Copies of this chain bind each other. A is one copy, B any other.
Amino acid sequence: MNQMTAIPAAASPLEMGRFADQNTPLVRNCWYVAGFADEISRHILSRRLLGVDVALYRTLAGEPVAVRNRCPHRSFPLAKGRLEGDVLVCGYHGMQFDPSGRCVNMPSMPIVPTNANVAAFPTAERGPLVWIWMGDPDHADEALIPDTSWLASPEWKSVRGAYHIKSDYVAMHENLLDQTHFPFLHPGTVGTPEFARSKLDVRLEDDVVVIYRALRNAPPPGIYGIPMGLMDKRVDRFSEARYVSPALHTAYASVTDNEDASGRPIKYRFNITHLITPETQTSLHYWWFNSRDQKLDDMEADEFLRTASEKAYLEDVDALEWIAQTVALDSEPQFDLNFAPDKPGLLMRRSIFERAEAEQARGL
């Protein structure tokens, strides 16, 4: 299964043309998150996803529905209309669409016009998330929805948050794959000097980029050590981060306390789920969960983890938006330099580029 492949060396500007950046067409044939499940309701929500304005609502039976937020008649935004049962009624001339996007009534016409439909997008609900497929509907296979089962498991407890970020999804994934920024951008939370200097391993599992590190007999990072009560100890650490798809990055961390009062080692496990959906080429929706398998009922741990995560992720938001502004406003382009820690990011960028290129080649 694990397939080690050649990792790109420092690339020339010419070669960089085959690594995705903010100008690469967005990968569409992928399940992306449309929103937290509790954001989608009987109140119609409009949200731009992959450049397309989408109207999101639930049927009376609770099924999430997603259609293009633009009436095919005179382009009125359907989310400004209203629901009649499961039918979405346009607020301009009353045109009616069922959850599949099919027009079922046009009040000013004696018969229902055929082919007067609005595009509908496949959706699927998984735990606290509603997923959407904006690509070729014939390929909308729910088996391709990535696993986030821990978010709905009673063995895990999660805190969560969401941000709108004026940056592109490639830069966001690259940020998550280059953890050498932790000591500089996040000195108060996840960044420890030991971590920065530790050996990094990279592997490729098909399109999934995996990076991992192991640290024995080291101080725990504050973000996990404080809420778990381990700051006066030395622990064994293991961390793994995965670029799973354009929509998902997962990070796993374990901290093992070998000196627990029970006499037996206790392993504290954390799953960080980063859900990323491009809004446009240069902006994105971001939803995150910080999940743990210990102290599930500890509300102080909840509060600490929520606050510390928000602090760290806002530092990332600032950095990404500052960079996007710098690039957008600069009067001359710059070919960014690449160093050894950029290898996982470059693998991700090559994968996104190749997926986008394949979609363009076959006309989607």
Whether A106 sits at the interface, judged by CB under 8 Å, is yes
Task: Using known A-B contacts A109-B340, A319-B92, A334-B70, determine if residue A327 contacts B75 with beta carbons closer than 8 Å.
Answer: yes
- How many copies make up the complex? 3
Whether A51 sits at the interface, judged by CB under 8 Å, is yes
B contact residues around A331 at 8 Å (CB): 50-52, 280
**B184 & A94 in contact (Cβ 8 Å cutoff):** yes
What is the CA–CA distance of A76 and B329 in the complex, to the nearest angstrom?
13
Whether A336 sits at the interface, judged by CB under 8 Å, is yes
What is the CA–CA distance of A15 and B73 in the complex, to the nearest angstrom?
16
Whether A190 sits at the interface, judged by CB under 8 Å, is no
B contact residues around A339 at 8 Å (CB): 73, 106, 108-109, 113, 116
**B178 & A326 in contact (Cβ 8 Å cutoff):** no
**A180 & B51 in contact (Cβ 8 Å cutoff):** no
A219 to chain B, nearest CB (A): 19
A92 to chain B, nearest CB (A): 5
Which chain A residues have a beta carbon within 8 Å of chain B's beta carbons? 48, 50-53, 69-70, 72-77, 80, 89-94, 106-109, 113, 116, 174, 178, 180-181, 183-185, 196, 280, 319, 322-323, 325-327, 329-332, 334, 336-341
What is the interface of chain A mostly: helix, strand, loop, or mixed? Answer: loop
Task: Using known A-B contacts A51-B331, A53-B326, A330-B53, determine if residue A184 contacts B90 with beta carbons closer than 8 Å.
Answer: yes
**B72 & A337 in contact (Cβ 8 Å cutoff):** yes
**A107 & B329 in contact (Cβ 8 Å cutoff):** no
**A52 & B330 in contact (Cβ 8 Å cutoff):** yes
Residue of B nearest to A174 (CB): B74
A54 to chain B, nearest CB (A): 11
A346 to chain B, nearest CB (A): 12
> Which residue of the partner chain, among B76, B116, B330, B340, contacts A322 with CB atoms under 8 Å?
B76
**Most chain-B CB neighbours within 10 Å: which of A53, A319, A339?**
A339
